[in-house]
Structure 1
Amino acid sequence: MGNGEISKRVVIISVILFISAFGFALVSESTRSQGSLIFVNEIVKYDDGTYDCVYRGNLSIAFAAVTLLLLLVAQLIVTITTGCLFFARSAYKHGAVRTYAIVAFIISWLVFAIAFLCLIVGAIANHVHTNGHTTCEEVKSAVFAVGAAFTFLTMLMSILYYILISKASILAMPYAAGGPAYGGPPSVGLATYA
């Protein structure tokens, strides 16, 4: 964001990472472990172990891990590119645009945290249910889907934040304060006085 303009490269890379994370979160949902009973005897007795539960794969943990990584990288790209707002606050002019950018920044990190937690909880619950349990419990169907939804919201808020903070950049001003853009005289270089 060196010149105060919106970098299409940052937006495109971020959107690709966020959309990929969203896709992997949906794949995590569709590959979550589902159990099926295998009968040992004709009569199923739940208290003496005459049945066993077999789970279909454990791929959702791998997909959730990829989702978490992509989500984190995308969020960090936007945050680091803008100077993390709080560390580079002197680079941004005060006003409504900066205020809206701060609100979008905070919301983007809140929905990021919710998405991150949903995906971690889903992956852990999926792992726990898959390994060693014979009750055929399954992860609730909405855990990864909610993580995917919040991943998408994180993308929207992060990109909105990036666009707003780019517009609030002091470097985006055509001239220094008092220049022609603000009704003052044009800037004069030192070559005029030599």
Structure 2
Amino acid sequence: MGKPSFGLVCLIFVFHLIAFCLALGAETRRTKVTWDFDSVGQYYYCNYKLDIASGLAAGGFIFNLISILVIMGVTRCFCCGGPYDPGSFRAFAIVSLVLLWLCYIIAQACFLAGANQNQMRTTTKYFQGTLIPDCETISKGIFAAAAAFTFFSGILSEFYYICTTKSKTENQQGTAARSVGMTNFSQHSPYNL
């Protein structure tokens, strides 16, 4: 069995923690909008406050991407990493890999959708006597969902890395491989002439 690298575990944790904090920051700094009235032109319009939520979401997206690239590069995405011992560690590694990719894809989709929607600006003017404009803003909670799935993908990536490392065979770790030797058998075989 292999031994997980403590430094790599800490590095993956830090990347996911930064992405998680950026997602929470983006949630609190979403676009704010007010309805204002232009007395000269006699119309209502949407007045959007400047924010940094989209930039924070882009940062969270990048740190989440870096963390998954590091973990997949180290483990070679499980399928290309070499032989693994059968057992519970290998089964847990496969299950956590599937769940990790699911959480990662959802988190990245939330980051992208949130950053895109946060930049939407309604420019329609509503003249006096009509209804107050319906100003488009991002749905509350999309960055919180990104934070939640980033948190889950962080836990799953740590679990996946540890299980993958522990399930590697002795041959993969550089020690003697468990194999059946055929040399002694052929020397003592009664069929040798």
2:115 equivalent in structure 1: 123
Rounded Cα–Cα distance in structure 1 between residues aligned with 2:67 and 2:155: 12
1:192 equivalent in structure 2: none
Secondary structure of the corresponding residue to residue 76 of structure 2: coil
Counterpart check, 1:177 vs 2:175: no
TM-score if structure 1 supplies the norm length?
0.80
Q: Where in structure 2 are the equivalents of 1:140-155 lying within 5 Å?
A: 140-155=139-154
Gaps of 5+ in 2: 126-133, 180-193
CA deviation string 1:52-110 (max 9, x = no partner): 2111114111111100000010111111111210112x332122210110110110010
Kept in 2, the 8 Å contact 1:18–1:152? The answer is yes
Rounded Cα–Cα distance in structure 1 between residues aligned with 2:29 and 2:64: 19
Rounded Cα–Cα distance in structure 2 between residues aligned with 1:55 and 1:94: 57
Q: Where in structure 2 are the equivalents of 1:59-138 lying within 5 Å?
A: 59-88=52-81, 90-128=82-120, 130=121, 132=123, 135-138=134-137
CA deviation string 1:109-135 (max 9, x = no partner): 10000001111111111112x364663
Kept in 2, the 8 Å contact 1:118–1:144? The answer is yes
CA deviation string 1:9-43 (max 9, x = no partner): 110010000000000001111111010111224xx
Rounded Cα–Cα distance in structure 1 between residues aligned with 2:95 and 2:140: 32
1:20 to 14, 18, 21: 18
Rounded Cα–Cα distance in structure 1 between residues aligned with 2:64 and 2:73: 14
Gaps of 5+ in 1: 42-47, 179-194
1:6 equivalent in structure 2: 4
Give the C-alpha shift of residue 49 in structure 1. 6.7
Give the C-alpha shift of residue 155 in structure 1. 0.2
Rounded Cα–Cα distance in structure 2 between residues aligned with 1:107 and 1:154: 8
TM-score if structure 2 supplies the norm length?
0.80
1:53 equivalent in structure 2: 46
Rounded Cα–Cα distance in structure 2 between residues aligned with 1:120 and 1:73: 16
Identity %: 29
Kept in 2, the 8 Å contact 1:58–1:126? The answer is no
| Larger CA deviation: 48-57 vs 29-38 | 48-57
Superposed CA RMSD in Å reads: 2.2
Secondary structure of the corresponding residue to residue 158 of structure 1: helix
Give the C-alpha shift of residue 175 in structure 1. 4.8
Secondary structure of the corresponding residue to residue 91 of structure 1: coil
Give the C-alpha shift of residue 150 in structure 1. 0.3
Secondary structure of the corresponding residue to residue 110 of structure 1: helix
Kept in 2, the 8 Å contact 1:108–1:157? The answer is yes
Kept in 1, the 8 Å contact 2:37–2:44? The answer is yes
